[in-house]
Amino acid sequence: MDLINSGVTPIIEKDIGGMIEHAVKAGTLRATVSVKDAVLATDLSLICVGTPSQLNGNLDLSYVRRVCEEIGAAMRDKEGFHVVVARSTMLPGSMRNLVIPTLEQASGKTAGVDFGVCNNPEFLREGTAVYDYYHPPKTVIGETDSQAGQRLVDLYASLDAPMIRTTVEVAEMVKYADNNWHAVKVAFANEIGNICKAVGIDGHQVMDIFCQDTKLNLSAYYMKPGFAFGGSCLPKDVRALTYKARSMDLDLPLLNAVLPSNARQVQRAIEMVTSKGHRKVGVLGFAFKAGTDDLRESPMVDVIEHLIGKGFDLRLFDRNVNMAALTGANRDYILNHIPHISKLMVNSVEEVMAFADTVVIGNGAAEFKAAALNPRDGQCVVDYVRIADRTSGPAYDGICW
């Protein structure tokens, strides 16, 4: 506290020393150990305490709880609308289950009425935190009420970055999605580098070329939660690379987990159908993606074969696959390798909808959208691709939403 009030930074971070010195001289920054003094003198409180790991890996929120108790007690004696903003990284549900109840109990007031609460994850890297603050990739505000959210919007008005206002739960999860993705990228690059070195290739050259692709590799493509991957390339190429690594005694935990993770998503998809309790199941789209007749390693074929094996009564429609069964390159595969499936194919979406009590949307062909939006009474739609922007409920169930 004394260091800050004398204009001296207590931490090593590029540019922070000059900023603290300037702010203290200008009278816009003052440090205190009294939470009550801080709350009564301001309109907005930022919670930036640590959330370390417990021994079992769970999050330790004891520091968050303590500071919420102190802020809440201070708000008890404050008039006007105070906004409490959690910047600390917390798992989804922490705001609703800990932060808000603790603030309400300590203050005797109601969140969203007497005071505001927001979650505002930070995206700062140590060593470049000041630069990152002024040049953020995005500003995410999870708000419990619009008045509190607007206070934060005003605070960040000078920053040139996308402003995203959402729920506190989404804001909480965004931070974990970001950090886990960064961790995955590091691990992926290292595993690719380890293979490269083992075969005499410069891993940096490979990844430099990899990173030049901003249409597929470094982009939003492939980044929507949904069904498993399939097709003629991804499964076989993951198998080939991990086999090559094993042959050189390389342990690649991340890449080795890709196919088991994909298989688990297929199993999850199957369980979504079997849990509905209907024996009549219709499938709309079973090529591995819309706009193709390719059934090679289609995860939908795995789902269909499992359901057949469990005694479900199925009807299937995919316009491209129907055409392939007559004239396409997949004719031999359809008629000779999966004849039990080809016998279940029908000629229209309407036939599937009239037959099935559970309808599975297997790929994103546009003609399936109306079916997902308009199930008949008692019919359930299981959507693997989010062909319709709906929220899961009794008549509609999305695989990751």
The verdict on whether residue 215 carries a ligand-binding annotation is: no
- What is the model's pLDDT at position 196? 98
Are 240 and 199 in contact by the 8 Å Cβ rule? The answer is no
Are 31 and 5 in contact by the 8 Å Cβ rule? The answer is yes
- For 126, the token pair is 């140590």
- What is the model's pLDDT at position 246? 97
- pLDDT tens digits for range 70-90: 999 999 999 999 999 999 999
Q: Cβ contacts of residue 65 below 8 Å, gap of 6+?
A: 98, 102
Span 199-207, average pLDDT: 98
Span 207-216, average pLDDT: 98
Calculate the CA 73 to chain-centre distance: 35
The verdict on whether residue 222 carries a ligand-binding annotation is: yes
3-state secondary structure of 381: strand
- Helix, strand, coil share (%) of the chain residues, nearest 5: 45, 10, 40
Are 312 and 270 in contact by the 8 Å Cβ rule? The answer is no
The verdict on whether residue 51 carries a ligand-binding annotation is: yes
- What is the model's pLDDT at position 231? 86
The verdict on whether residue 224 carries a ligand-binding annotation is: yes
Catalytic residue among 211, 233, 380, 400: 233
The verdict on whether residue 230 carries a ligand-binding annotation is: yes
The pTM score is 0.90
Find the length of the chain: 401
- pLDDT tens digits for range 108-127: 999 999 999 999 999 999 89
What DSSP character marks residue 142? E
Given the structure tokens 């008039």, which residue do they identify? 79
Clarify whether 196 is annotated catalytic: no
Does residue 325 carry a pLDDT above 80? Answer: no
- Report the percentage of the chain scoring pLDDT > 90: 87
d(CA 118, CA 112): 10
Q: Higher pLDDT residue, 148 or 336?
A: 148
- What is the model's pLDDT at position 330? 75
Does residue 208 carry a pLDDT above 70? Answer: yes
Does residue 326 carry a pLDDT above 70? Answer: no
Span 198-216, average pLDDT: 98
Span 236-261, average pLDDT: 97
The closest of 203, 183, 187 to 195, measured between CA atoms, is 203
- Report the percentage of the chain scoring pLDDT > 70: 100
Taking the CA atoms of the chain, what radius of gyration do you get in angstroms? Answer: 27
Across the chain, mean pLDDT equals 94
Rounded to whole angstroms, what are the CA distances from 360 to 199, 302, 303?
44, 13, 10
The verdict on whether residue 225 carries a ligand-binding annotation is: yes
Please state, as a whole number, how many other Cβ atoms lie within 10 Å of the Cβ of residue 137: 10
- pLDDT tens digits for range 147-180: 999 999 999 999 999 999 999 999 999 999 999 9
The closest of 265, 360, 351, 348 to 312, measured between CA atoms, is 360
The verdict on whether residue 89 carries a ligand-binding annotation is: yes
Domains of the chain: 1-175 (3.40.50.720), 262-398 (3.40.50.720)
Are 234 and 263 in contact by the 8 Å Cβ rule? The answer is no
- What is the model's pLDDT at position 321? 87
- pLDDT tens digits for range 345-389: 999 999 999 999 999 999 999 999 998 899 999 999 999 999 988
The verdict on whether residue 19 carries a ligand-binding annotation is: no
Does residue 337 carry a pLDDT above 80? Answer: no
The verdict on whether residue 25 carries a ligand-binding annotation is: no
In DSSP terms, which residues pair with 398 in a beta bridge? 383
